[in-house]
Amino acid sequence: MFYLIEVEDYVRVEPKLFGLPTTEAVDKQLREIYTDYYNKEFGKVVVVVEVLEVREGVIIPGDGAAYYDSKFKLLVWKPELQELVYGTISEITNFGAFINMGIMRGMIHISQTMDDYVSFSKANSLLGKSTKRSLKSGDLCLARIVALSHKGDEPKIGLTMRQPGLGKLEWIKEDALKKEKDSKKALKAEEASVKKAGGKKK
């Protein structure tokens, strides 16, 4: 889930930025600080949106940098359990697939890639035994977050594509068309049986 958050903090501005206007120096420093930044509390920082306020700065003896009490806005993405995510398969392994969600990577265990018996093929793809569906690098998918672990610098995100309406986008379209065909077929069969029953009454 994407959030816009306001943060108030002392920003340590390095001496190399002292020649710039204060707000610009704080902005540049923030963009440096928050590149690839993840925090369990508010998630992964996508971008520093704007610096809202910069108050008086303080210099700590022996440091050389200036600290500015600042208020700024960040765009963050915080993974939530049961959230639906779009992504591209970035890597296939013998135990599953990694999906690039643009901001972070998630992992789909081989058993969660499709509702079928799945095996790893020599062509570096995952194959469904009865459906003959294959999953390979570059495939666009829709998945659901089912597990989150916050050990390490970034969270480990576990995904599933076994639930209805999830999976490779092509499969979702195929399933929707099949459902439509089946419901039309069922409707025709119902109409035919009503006609037959009506014919007998006469």
Taking the C-alpha atoms of residue 61 and residue 47, their distance in angstroms, rounded to an integer, is 32
Q: How many angstroms separate the CA atoms of 110 and 121, rounded?
A: 12
Q: Please indicate, yes or no, whether the overall pTM of this predicted structure exceeds 0.85.
A: no
The sign of the CA dihedral 116, 119, 124, 130 is: negative
* Distant-in-sequence, close-in-space partners of 33: CB < 8 Å, separation ≥ 6: 11
Question: Which domains are present in the chain?
Answer: 2-77 (3.30.1490.120), 84-175 (2.40.50.140)
Local confidence band at 146 (pLDDT 50, 70, 90 cut-offs): very high
For 83-92, write each residue's pLDDT tens digit: 999 999 999 9
Using a CB cutoff of 8 Å and minimum separation of 24, what contacts does 168-175 make?
168/133, 168/135, 168/139, 168/140, 168/141, 169/139, 169/140, 169/141, 169/142, 170/139, 171/114, 171/133, 172/142
